[in-house]
Structure formats: structure tokens, C-alpha cells
Structure 1
């Protein structure tokens, strides 16, 4: 009876370790939590750019990876590039902006 219990505990421990390791991030892969955080951050940045009247938000693409926001797309004036970067940096949670 003790042997079966020890085997069951070992299997449970191994399954727990593998599930925790499977959800962790690596330098090239986000964890599930980081992915959700980045999706929320992308939404916040898009909303901030949309609320900026001088920018055409439909022409600016926003992608986020581990808190780093990347902006791409087209703007009418060179000053809009700087303005979009400033707006993105102003969002809480943004680590840096690649513009």
C-alpha cells in the first residue's frame, strides 16, 4: 500500500513540475500570463493613440512583446512619428517603444 502511495505522489509531483515549467517564459517565448499582459498593453496603447486627435490611428500598427511596444505604419507628418512614440511611452506598463 505504501509503495502505491509513493508512486502516486511521485507521478503527481512530476506532473506539477512539468506543468509549471511548461507555462514559464523563455527569451524567445512568452508565458501565458505575459501574452495576456501584452495583449492588454497593446489595447491600451491603441486606445491612447486613437484618443490623440493629431494621429490617424488606423494607419499605426501596435505590437507588444514582453512590455516592449513596436509601432509601425504610415503617418502624414514626420512629427507624428515622435508624437506616437510619446503617447505610447505614456501608457502605464510600457517598458520601451520601438518606433
Structure 2
């Protein structure tokens, strides 16, 4: 008689891999939440800023009229759940 032994064929949970479509959906949802938060702020709603996201990193771009508003936009964005980090591409509007 011949016996064959196998080293524990135990099933282990592997971290789920998110499909590219799911990342895009999550990024779109995150961008929408950031835009809502920026519009909800009285001092920021009139500014023309672009919001782009990639894997939880939010990029703000555009022109604003003061350094105070840049800092406020960054703070509001950082406060949105799901934001991993913020890339600042906001510039002071030329006078």
C-alpha cells in the first residue's frame, strides 16, 4: 500500500483585489462627495475648481482669489471620508 501525504491544503482568505471598474466607480463617488463638500462651504461654492481622483488621492486644480481659500479648500477636502491624500494644484488668480 502506498500513501500520499499533502501538506495542509487549507483555504486562506486573500485580500480582495478591486477590479479597475470598481476603482473608477469608487473614485467617481469620492469626487462627487468632495464636490458636494466644497459647494456646501459658503466661501468656496463660487470658485471654479476641478476635482479629480485616483485611488483615493484627490487633486484640486484651478484658480482662486486668496491663499486663505486655497487652505480652506484643502481642509474641506481632507475632511471628506475616503480621501487618502490631497494634491494641491490650486493657484492664485492673476490680478
- Output the TM-score relative to the length of structure 2: 0.70
Q: 1:60-86: per-residue Cα shift (whole Å, max 9, x none)?
A: 110000000000001111111111010
- Output the TM-score relative to the length of structure 1: 0.67
More helix by share: 1
Residue 60 of structure 1 aligns with which residue?
Answer: 49
SS state of the match for residue 74, structure 1?
A: strand
More strand by share: 2
Aligned length: 72
Structure 1: which 5+ residue stretches go unaligned?
A: 1-22, 25-30
Check whether the contact 1:56–1:75 (CA below 8 A) recurs between aligned residues.
Answer: no
What CA distance in whole angstroms lies between the structure 2 residues aligned with 1:79 and 1:46? 18
Residue 32 of structure 2 aligns with which residue?
Answer: 43
Residue 14 of structure 2 aligns with which residue?
Answer: none
Structure 2: which 5+ residue stretches go unaligned?
A: 1-17, 89-95
**RMSD of aligned C-alpha atoms?**
1.7
Check whether the contact 1:46–1:57 (CA below 8 A) recurs between aligned residues.
Answer: no
Q: Which has the higher contact order (CA 8 A, sep 6+)?
A: 2
Equivalent of residue 61 in structure 2, options 68, 72, 81: 72
Residue 34 of structure 1 aligns with which residue?
Answer: 23
Check whether the contact 1:49–1:57 (CA below 8 A) recurs between aligned residues.
Answer: no
Check whether the contact 1:70–1:97 (CA below 8 A) recurs between aligned residues.
Answer: yes
